[in-house]
Amino acid sequence: MPVEFKLPDLGEGIHEGEIIEVLVHAGDKVEDGQTVLVIETDKATAEVPSPVTGTVTEVRVKQGQTVRVGEVLIVFAKEGEKEGEEAGVPPPRAYEKETGPSREVEKAGEKAGEEKPAQASAGPVAAAPSTRRLARELGVDIGKVTPSGPGGRVTPEDVRAFARRASRPEGEKAPEGEVARPAEIEKEPVTLPGTFGPEERIALRSVRRATAKRMSAAWAQIPHVTHMDTADLTALDAFRHKHIKRVEALGGDLSLMVFVMKAAAAALKKFPSFNSSLDVESGEIILKHYRNIGFAMDTDRGLLVPVIRDVDCKSIFDLAIEFRQIGERTRQGKATREDLSGGTFTITNVGPMGGTGIAPIINYPEAAILGMARAKLQPVVLGDAKNYEIVPRLMLPLSITFDHRILDGAEAARFLNMIKSAMEEPETLLMIS
């Protein structure tokens, strides 16, 4: 019997990946464990091994194609079995996204503003087995669900949305107390290519595509509010330079980010709502009793967020060593899925690029994100109106952007004040846990 190799469940909420390289062709002999594909998700790039020893009878994917969990990637005939139809292998079929004239004609026939019809009854509904199971559990006829996934696939979100609409009488508003969900965003038409001059189109792929999806989800669902302040780093900077060579000798990087992470972890412990997520479906706030902090990195692949786990349980020196190690793996494209997942709070630092402040978008589904701009020497007035002096101090602009469904401005001010106080008194950072 043929072996249909499907994209397995990748975990951590990852439902799809992009084929970066296809290493085999139909007719090739392969060994069990031999790499046959290279696939990239928004978390990491991974080599995909053959599950059997045998012959490749059909390759159903191509480079640059996006595939979802449950889709067949390659069909194999095990060693010793006949190939082709005698072994029960179905004839080759097209495995590409809907493109070409037929799809363009279909689009042209759709009325402006009219919802795309559900899957035609003449063919099977494109959906993963888990999505079909969810539809059965919710009593939803999956053939009536309007797909929104790649290639016209029905996603779990499509099924849940259909079930919510079906359970509510026509014209009835959402019940009082239910958390509001964003309305569908009307899509503006894109001008025809070359209308106003030469153009170039670049595929929205891998990390950039994943970033676009996550940022859209965060902006559409979360009411963002940003509170800003500045911290005096003069004493901390002196402390950092005093120990920087010692930490470098241990293989660490005593970056300012390390101190900010440590201060943030202590604040998250005292203000647990900043270390939470909102479950809209159940109407519950999920408080996380672990503090895994991600830090945004600008890499050749795009914006990635490696995560250091249990920051509150580690010393400044331990964090400095781990910060360098995970940062180097991420820059080199060697970060694992574990390196890039499991975060409960994120810090982003635009300081190296300049700027006087930042109001970042929350890393959904987290509840808040801390922003850092460039630390600069500034004249600061010390004392009161009668007795004061103006001195140069190293000042760091900070911001905390939070989910206003869960948190309020007063809490944000207290949270940022704690981080600010810890950074202005370096000894405090060595004692907090």
Q: Map out the domains of the chain as residue ranges.
A: 2-87, 124-168, 220-431
Pairing of strands 345-349, 293-295: parallel
Residue 301: partners with Cβ closer than 8 Å, 6 or more residues away = 206, 207, 333
The string of pLDDT tens digits covering residues 231-267 is 999 999 999 999 999 999 999 999 999 999 999 999 9
- 64 CB-side CA count, 13 A: 5
The string of pLDDT tens digits covering residues 2-28 is 889 888 776 555 677 888 889 999 999
Q: Please, what CATH class does the domain formed by 124-168 belong to?
A: few secondary structures
| Amino acid in position 150 | P
Residues forming a β-bridge with 40: 18, 45
Structure tokens, 3: 């072996």
Q: Is the pLDDT of residue 92 over 60?
A: no
Q: What is the CA radius of gyration of the chain?
A: 26
User: What is the secondary structure of 93-141 as a DSSP string?
Assistant: -----S-SHHHHHHHHHSPTTPPPP---TTS---B-HHHHHHHHHHT--
Architecture of the domain whose range is 2-87 = Beta Barrel (2.40)
Q: What is the pLDDT of residue 228?
A: 97
Q: What is the pLDDT of residue 78?
A: 86
CB atoms within 10 A of CB 77: 22
Chain mean pLDDT for the chain:
82
Q: Which residues of 118-147 are buried (b: 16+ CB within 10 A; e: fewer)?
A: bbeeeeebbbbeebbebbeeeebebeebeb
* CATH tag for 220-431 (out of 3.40.1160.10, 3.30.559.10, 3.40.50.300, 3.40.50.740): 3.30.559.10
Rounded Cα distance between 367 and 348, Å, is: 14
Structure tokens, 11: 């975990």
Pairing of strands 368-372, 345-349: parallel
Q: Is the pLDDT of residue 103 over 50?
A: no
The string of pLDDT tens digits covering residues 390-400 is 999 999 999 99
Residue 317: partners with Cβ closer than 8 Å, 6 or more residues away = 247, 250, 252
Residue 265: in which H helix or E strand, if any? helix 256-270
Rounded Cα distance between 401 and 357, Å, is: 12
Closest listed residue to residue 427, CA positions, set 187, 259, 186, 191: 259
Rounded Cα distance between 34 and 25, Å, is: 13
What is the value of pTM for the model shown? 0.64
- 289 catalytically annotated: no
The sign of the CA dihedral 359, 363, 366, 371 is negative
Q: Which of 25, 227, 289, 404 is catalytic?
A: 404
